[in-house]
Amino acid sequence: KGKPFFCLFSFHQKESNFLLQMETFRKIYPSEFYKKFLVHGVRPDGRSLNRCRTTSVNWGLFGGSNGSSFVKIGSSIPLEESSKIEPSSQWTGEGTCVTCAVVAELGLATPNTPNGQIVVNVELGPICSTKFKGGPPSEEAQSLGQFLNGIVNQSSLVSLDGLKVIWNSKSSEEKESVGPFVWYLYADLYCLNYDGSVVDASLISLIAALENVKLPELVLTKDKQVVALPITENTPAIKIEWKEYPIPLSFAIMEEDILSDPTNEEEELAIGQITIVATSKENIVSIRKSGGASLPDEKLKECIEKAKERCKQIVFLLQKQKNKHS
């Protein structure tokens, strides 16, 4: 009567020992561990070299801001199903999670900002990974912030005409007497969990948050006081017109392979990284490269085609959210 239980226990013990040995080998020889998978065209998490992780996009989740979003790239397995997953999925990580909150401030237009401006700030702190420390923004956070500011303020990609203030007043004299006012949007991005492709998650989160920004209607009183009407559920979102959605896809350059949407571990093992930003009109607006590894023209063209395909997938998710909240 005890044999079936003993056999089952013995099987699970052997499986547990095998997984422990695999994890030990991985920690001691991470490069060799990956090579044993890559030679077969697969990664430890079960993905092919070209496959991206599951991506989810949600917006309008947080109060206290004019617009918000939450983007996750990676594992999204419900807790109740965690015991049913395959052994290889224990190496999928927690995924990369980025949230974005947009706060609007009223200000005077300037020669450099006649239509307002979008200012992006990125926080990569110890909450998302032990690789980051508290205190001033890290070099990676500053670099990412500069990159996102450059993308989102390109006039060829986005129109900021919706940030011009239109007064709810019939008197043109009253409007002119207070000067040209515009909205300045301050977008704060917070990485909650860092597991690779943080550029991708950050830019997608930024776009999603800007898509659902709501601004109060302004009224100019007779004594030239500015009154902001309360924002309600019926307050329409401003029209930040995206001429083209700029959607990124990052790659890790290994010795002989290129991995789409790399995890943090894959990025650390890579000899170089590249992020390609493709648009919904299949234009390439940015190629961001780090590391000293070179990429042959043929391989770069393959990456560009993958980025264009990824763009279509993310635009579909954004449109889905847009329809949900319209």
Kindly report, residue by residue over 186-231, the tens digit of the pLDDT.
Answer: 999 999 999 999 999 999 999 999 998 888 877 777 777 777 777 7
Phi/psi at 106 (5° precision): -85, 135
Is the pLDDT at 167 greater than 70? The verdict is no
81 falls in which pLDDT band (50, 70, 90)?
very low
pTM for the model: 0.84
The pLDDT of residue 9 = 43
Whether the per-residue pLDDT at 285 is higher than 70: the answer is: yes
Checking if the pLDDT of 51 tops 80, the result is yes
User: What's the rounded Cα separation, in Å, for the pair 312 and 63?
Assistant: 30
DSSP string, 267-311: HHH-SEEEEEEEETTS-EEEEEEEES----HHHHHHHHHHHHHHH
Q: Model confidence at 22, in pLDDT bands (50, 70, 90)?
A: low
Please report the pLDDT score of residue 179 as a whole number.
66
Mean pLDDT taken over the chain: 82
**Residue closest to 114 by CA, chosen among 165, 39, 66:** 165
- Reported as a pLDDT band with limits 50, 70 and 90, residue 68 is very high
How confident is residue 284, by pLDDT bands cut at 50, 70 and 90? very high
Q: Give Cα separations from 40 to 33, 51, 53, 258 (angstroms).
A: 12, 14, 19, 14
Contact 92, 75 (CB under 8 A): yes
Question: Encoding tokens for residue 63?
Answer: 């109060």
Sequence-distant (6+) residues with CB within 8 A of 277 are 151, 203, 246, 247, 248, 284, 285, 286, 287, 288, 307
Which segment of 52-56, 67-71, 236-240 scores lowest on mean pLDDT?
236-240
pLDDT at 87 over 90: no
Per-residue model confidence (pLDDT) at position 319: 92
* Beta bridge partners of residue 237, listed in sequence order: 214
Q: According to the model, what pLDDT value does residue 88 have?
A: 39
3-state secondary structure of 152: helix
Question: Which CA distances in Å does 188 have to 102, 161, 184?
Answer: 6, 22, 13
17 has a pLDDT exceeding 80:
no
In contact, 124 and 138? CB cutoff 8 Å: yes
Task: Give 239's contacts (C-beta < 8 A, 6+ positions apart).
Answer: 161, 162
Among the ranges given (202-216, 226-240, 241-255), the one the predictor scored with the smallest mean pLDDT: 226-240
Helix (H) or strand (E) holding 16: helix 3-28
Picking from 303, 273, 258, 270, the residue whose alpha carbon sits closest to that of residue 48 is 258
